[in-house]
Amino acid sequence: MAQHHTARVTWSRSSPDFKAESYSRDFDATFDGGVTWRGSAASGPATPAGTVGAGTVDPEEMVVAAVSSCHMLFFLALASRKGLVIDRYEDDAIGVLEAKDGATWLTRITLRPRVTWGGAPPDKAVVDELHHGAHKRCYIANSLKGEVVVDPAEG
Protein backbone atom coordinates (compact mmCIF):
# COMPACT_ATOMS: atom_id res chain seq x y z
CA MET A 1 0.00 0.00 0.00
CA ALA A 2 1.35 3.42 -0.95
CA GLN A 3 2.09 5.92 1.77
CA HIS A 4 1.60 9.62 1.28
CA HIS A 5 3.85 12.26 2.76
CA THR A 6 2.99 15.92 2.56
CA ALA A 7 4.77 19.24 2.65
CA ARG A 8 3.12 22.61 2.25
CA VAL A 9 5.35 25.28 0.74
CA THR A 10 4.20 28.90 0.95
CA TRP A 11 5.71 32.13 -0.32
CA SER A 12 4.28 35.65 -0.20
CA ARG A 13 5.49 38.85 -1.78
CA SER A 14 6.92 41.06 0.96
CA SER A 15 7.68 44.21 -1.03
CA PRO A 16 5.66 46.39 -3.40
CA ASP A 17 7.62 45.28 -6.47
CA PHE A 18 8.29 41.88 -7.96
CA LYS A 19 11.57 42.36 -9.76
CA ALA A 20 14.01 39.51 -10.34
CA GLU A 21 16.83 41.41 -8.65
CA SER A 22 14.94 42.21 -5.47
CA TYR A 23 12.07 39.88 -4.55
CA SER A 24 12.59 37.72 -1.47
CA ARG A 25 13.40 34.07 -2.08
CA ASP A 26 12.35 33.12 1.49
CA PHE A 27 9.53 30.62 1.98
CA ASP A 28 8.05 28.34 4.62
CA ALA A 29 7.86 24.57 4.31
CA THR A 30 5.43 22.94 6.74
CA PHE A 31 5.50 19.19 7.09
CA ASP A 32 2.74 16.76 8.06
CA GLY A 33 4.09 16.57 11.63
CA GLY A 34 3.47 20.30 12.05
CA VAL A 35 7.11 21.42 11.89
CA THR A 36 7.86 24.49 9.78
CA TRP A 37 11.27 25.25 8.32
CA ARG A 38 12.21 28.62 6.90
CA GLY A 39 13.72 28.09 3.47
CA SER A 40 15.22 30.22 0.74
CA ALA A 41 17.25 29.96 -2.43
CA ALA A 42 20.86 28.94 -2.20
CA SER A 43 23.02 32.03 -1.99
CA GLY A 44 25.50 32.32 -4.79
CA PRO A 45 26.29 34.15 -8.00
CA ALA A 46 22.87 33.43 -9.54
CA THR A 47 20.98 34.77 -6.51
CA PRO A 48 20.82 38.56 -6.12
CA ALA A 49 22.30 39.95 -2.90
CA GLY A 50 19.75 40.69 -0.21
CA THR A 51 17.14 38.23 -1.48
CA VAL A 52 18.06 35.30 0.80
CA GLY A 53 17.19 35.46 4.49
CA ALA A 54 19.62 34.59 7.26
CA GLY A 55 19.10 31.27 9.00
CA THR A 56 17.27 29.65 6.09
CA VAL A 57 17.71 26.22 4.52
CA ASP A 58 17.83 25.90 0.75
CA PRO A 59 16.17 23.07 -1.21
CA GLU A 60 19.51 21.57 -2.20
CA GLU A 61 20.50 21.26 1.47
CA MET A 62 17.10 19.71 2.22
CA VAL A 63 17.69 17.00 -0.40
CA VAL A 64 21.18 16.24 0.95
CA ALA A 65 19.83 16.08 4.53
CA ALA A 66 16.93 13.86 3.40
CA VAL A 67 19.27 11.33 1.76
CA SER A 68 21.67 11.39 4.73
CA SER A 69 18.95 10.97 7.35
CA CYS A 70 17.19 8.21 5.36
CA HIS A 71 20.45 6.25 5.13
CA MET A 72 21.14 6.83 8.83
CA LEU A 73 17.71 5.64 9.96
CA PHE A 74 18.00 2.40 7.99
CA PHE A 75 21.59 1.92 9.22
CA LEU A 76 20.46 2.31 12.85
CA ALA A 77 17.55 -0.10 12.33
CA LEU A 78 19.74 -2.76 10.71
CA ALA A 79 22.43 -2.44 13.41
CA SER A 80 19.81 -2.69 16.16
CA ARG A 81 18.35 -5.87 14.60
CA LYS A 82 21.84 -7.39 14.68
CA GLY A 83 22.12 -6.61 18.39
CA LEU A 84 24.77 -3.93 17.82
CA VAL A 85 24.78 -0.76 19.91
CA ILE A 86 25.46 2.68 18.47
CA ASP A 87 26.16 5.66 20.71
CA ARG A 88 26.45 8.31 17.99
CA TYR A 89 26.08 8.66 14.24
CA GLU A 90 27.31 11.73 12.37
CA ASP A 91 27.40 12.44 8.66
CA ASP A 92 29.02 15.39 6.90
CA ALA A 93 27.17 14.79 3.64
CA ILE A 94 27.83 16.92 0.58
CA GLY A 95 25.83 17.41 -2.59
CA VAL A 96 27.26 18.60 -5.90
CA LEU A 97 24.96 20.80 -7.98
CA GLU A 98 26.01 21.02 -11.62
CA ALA A 99 24.72 22.22 -14.94
CA LYS A 100 24.81 19.10 -17.06
CA ASP A 101 22.88 17.84 -20.08
CA GLY A 102 21.07 21.17 -20.41
CA ALA A 103 19.73 21.14 -16.84
CA THR A 104 20.95 21.87 -13.34
CA TRP A 105 20.75 18.96 -10.92
CA LEU A 106 22.40 17.30 -7.94
CA THR A 107 24.75 15.01 -9.84
CA ARG A 108 26.30 13.43 -6.77
CA ILE A 109 25.65 13.20 -3.05
CA THR A 110 28.41 11.77 -0.92
CA LEU A 111 27.57 10.49 2.55
CA ARG A 112 30.47 10.39 5.00
CA PRO A 113 29.03 8.71 8.09
CA ARG A 114 31.02 8.27 11.29
CA VAL A 115 29.68 5.79 13.79
CA THR A 116 30.60 5.64 17.46
CA TRP A 117 29.83 2.17 18.73
CA GLY A 118 28.69 1.31 22.25
CA GLY A 119 31.30 -1.30 23.03
CA ALA A 120 33.65 -3.03 20.64
CA PRO A 121 32.96 -2.04 17.04
CA PRO A 122 32.03 -4.81 14.61
CA ASP A 123 34.53 -5.74 11.92
CA LYS A 124 34.68 -3.80 8.68
CA ALA A 125 32.75 -6.44 6.72
CA VAL A 126 29.75 -6.09 9.06
CA VAL A 127 29.86 -2.28 8.86
CA ASP A 128 30.07 -2.45 5.06
CA GLU A 129 27.10 -4.85 5.03
CA LEU A 130 25.09 -2.42 7.19
CA HIS A 131 25.89 0.51 4.89
CA HIS A 132 25.09 -1.57 1.80
CA GLY A 133 21.76 -2.63 3.31
CA ALA A 134 20.90 0.92 4.38
CA HIS A 135 21.79 2.28 0.94
CA LYS A 136 19.68 -0.36 -0.79
CA ARG A 137 16.66 0.44 1.41
CA CYS A 138 16.97 4.25 1.28
CA TYR A 139 13.99 5.10 -0.90
CA ILE A 140 15.04 8.74 -1.11
CA ALA A 141 18.42 7.86 -2.64
CA ASN A 142 16.63 5.38 -4.91
CA SER A 143 14.33 8.18 -6.11
CA LEU A 144 17.11 10.47 -7.32
CA LYS A 145 18.69 10.79 -10.75
CA GLY A 146 22.11 11.67 -9.34
CA GLU A 147 24.64 9.26 -7.89
CA VAL A 148 24.67 8.63 -4.14
CA VAL A 149 27.99 7.43 -2.73
CA VAL A 150 28.55 6.11 0.79
CA ASP A 151 32.09 6.73 2.02
CA PRO A 152 32.12 5.84 5.72
CA ALA A 153 34.87 7.14 7.95
CA GLU A 154 36.75 4.63 10.01
CA GLY A 155 35.98 4.65 13.69
pLDDT in tens, 34-92: 899 999 988 777 777 778 878 888 899 999 999 999 999 999 999 999 999 999 999 99
Same domain, 73 and 97: yes
3-state secondary structure of 111: strand
Q: Is residue 140 over pLDDT 90? A: yes
Same domain, 118 and 140: yes
| pLDDT, tens digit, 9 for 90 and up, residues 1-35 | 888 888 999 999 988 889 888 889 999 999 988 89
Confidence of residue 116 (pLDDT cuts 50, 70, 90): very high
Q: Does the residue 11 lie in any domain?
A: yes
pTM of the complete model beyond 0.85: yes
Same domain, 51 and 74: no
CB–CB of 80/112 below 8 Å? Answer: no
Long-range contact pairs involving 8-11 (C-beta distance under 8 Å, separation at least 24): 9/39
Q: Which residue range forms the structural domain that includes residue 12?
A: 1-57
pLDDT at 154: 65
Same domain, 79 and 141: yes
Q: Does the residue 8 lie in any domain?
A: yes
Q: Assign residue 34 the CATH number of its domain.
A: 3.30.300.20
Number of domains within the chain: 2
Q: Does the residue 155 lie in any domain?
A: no
Same domain, 43 and 64: no
Residue where a domain terminates, one of 39, 57, 75: 57
Same domain, 42 and 69: no
| pLDDT, tens digit, 9 for 90 and up, residues 88-114 | 999 999 999 998 889 999 999 999 999
Residue where a domain terminates, one of 57, 79, 99: 57
pLDDT at 12: 92
Distances in Å between the Cα of 44 and the Cα atoms of 10, 14, 55, 118, 140 are 22, 21, 15, 41, 26
